[in-house]
Structures are given as C-alpha cells and as structure tokens.
Chains A and B, each alone.
Chain A
Amino acid sequence: MNIEEYSYLWTTEKEDTVLVNTEFGYGIVNKKQHTVLSISDTATSQAVIKKMLEEGNKIYENILDAYADI
C-alpha cells in the first residue's frame, strides 16, 4: 500500500491537519478549514492515521477543541 499521496497531511499541512478522537477511532480533521477527510478504504485510512501518529500530528478529544486551537 502506498500512502505517499497523503504525505501532505504530515508534511506541508501538518500544522492544520490533526487527529480527533471518537468512539470509532481517530478522524482526520483540517482544523483551519473545518473539514474532515473521510477515507472509505479501511486499510489505507488506518495506515494514514498510523503515519500521522508517528509524525506527531496533534491529537484532540473533540472536534470543537481542535477548531478552537488556531
């Protein structure tokens, strides 16, 4: 699986792209644009989130906390 096409999430857009926790796992959120990236392929989604965690993208417990932290 090649997740390189998502690398902007943990490089050029790392400051704005964060993980938000839910009862189903993390969501990929752009806290500046107030948008959510939804990836329907579970394996790809999990790999992207794992990479974001490794790269140190910020984590929030609620999407409103993420939106407020700009």
Chain B
Amino acid sequence: MSKGLSGHFNGTAGFLHALAEEVFDRIMPNGAKNIDFSHLPGSKGIQIKKRLTDKQMDFLTREYGVEFAQVYELGPGKKGRGGRYMIYSGISNRVIIPVTNKTILINHTHPKGTARPSPDDLVLLALIKQAGSPQKTSSIIPLGKATVKFTLKGLKT
C-alpha cells in the first residue's frame, strides 16, 4: 500500500477495517436501524454475516430502486452448513447471480411490485435445479406487498 493511501486510512489496519465496512447499519431518522452498503453489490456480490429479513430486502429495494437477490452458498457441513450468505443487485428489472450445485436462491425482490414469478424466475429456478442444487422453493419480495413463495410449478400457496 502506498504511504499516502496508508496514511489516509490510518495504516493498513484502518484500510482493512474500511474494506470490512462495505456493509453497515444505517440509523434512520426515527432511530430504527437498517442494513446498508457502501456500494451496490452488483453481480460480484457482497457477503453478509446473516440472512437479511424480508423487511431489510424491501428497504434496500425501495432505497435504490433496483432488484436484489439473496443467495446462500451451501457449505461443506451437514445440510450445507458452514456456507455463506451473499447479496447481489441488478438494474431495475434484471439481476445476475451465480448458479452452481451450491446455489440456494433464498429470495429476490421485484421493484415493480409484481407478486408472481416471471417466466425468467422459473427459468432461473430450473437452471439452479439443472446445476444440481437441492433447492425446490424460492421467494419473491414484491415491493410494498407480502412475500410469495414459488416452485417450478408456480406460486406456492
């Protein structure tokens, strides 16, 4: 690291700390806390410590006006334990996510509020299955509406 950059972040430890803060708590005017990012995750994704709630996903979508997808990458442990949670973001109507035999698409948001899976949502779930993932059900968080679950057969009631 250059001396100037190191100085700006108060040394290497400070620089690493700044990197770690790409996810942080944002204090709202009413005192409530919401998760936020220093930059949008994009197709590269940002690792998060624990699964975000539907409310947090709704907040992020409302705040940035883009689609977010939350993925759990199965770990080596029993039933996939020891994996990691990742968040991806796209542009208003599209998102790019990794698809492997370890991919579990927990949920994704619909910024336009559509409370049903699009044909591409079903294609995505089918491709996740083709890749060898054990996933059968995923969720959609339509902006301002209740979360819906879907399978390859469509909406799950």
Write the residues of chain A forming the contact surface with B, with a CB cutoff of 8 angstroms.
20, 22-27, 29-30, 33-42, 44-45, 62-64, 67
Closest 7 CB pairs of A and B: A22-B126, A24-B122, A41-B93, A27-B123, A63-B130, A39-B94, A40-B118
Write the residues of chain B forming the contact surface with A, with a CB cutoff of 8 angstroms.
43, 67, 90, 93-100, 108, 110, 112, 114, 118-124, 126-127, 130-132, 152
Instruction: Determine if B43 and A22 form an interchain contact, defined as CB atoms under 8 angstroms apart.
Output: no
Nearest-Cβ distance from residue B120 to partner chain A, whole angstroms: 5
Instruction: Determine if B100 and A34 form an interchain contact, defined as CB atoms under 8 angstroms apart.
Output: yes
Main secondary structure of the interface of B (DSSP, over half): mixed
Q: Which of B95, B131, B132 contacts A38 (CB 8 A)?
A: B95
Instruction: Determine if B110 and A63 form an interchain contact, defined as CB atoms under 8 angstroms apart.
Output: no
Instruction: Determine if B124 and A25 form an interchain contact, defined as CB atoms under 8 angstroms apart.
Output: no
- Give Cα distance in the complex from A12 to B7, angstroms: 40
Instruction: Determine if B123 and A25 form an interchain contact, defined as CB atoms under 8 angstroms apart.
Output: yes
Most chain A Cβ neighbours within 10 Å, of B110, B123, B126: B123
Nearest-Cβ distance from residue B57 to partner chain A, whole angstroms: 15
22 residue pairs of the A-B complex, CB under 8 angstroms, read: A22-B123, A22-B130, A24-B122, A24-B123, A24-B126, A27-B120, A27-B126, A34-B99, A35-B43, A35-B99, A36-B96, A36-B97, A36-B124, A38-B94, A40-B93, A40-B118, A41-B94, A42-B119, A42-B120, A62-B130, A63-B130, A64-B130
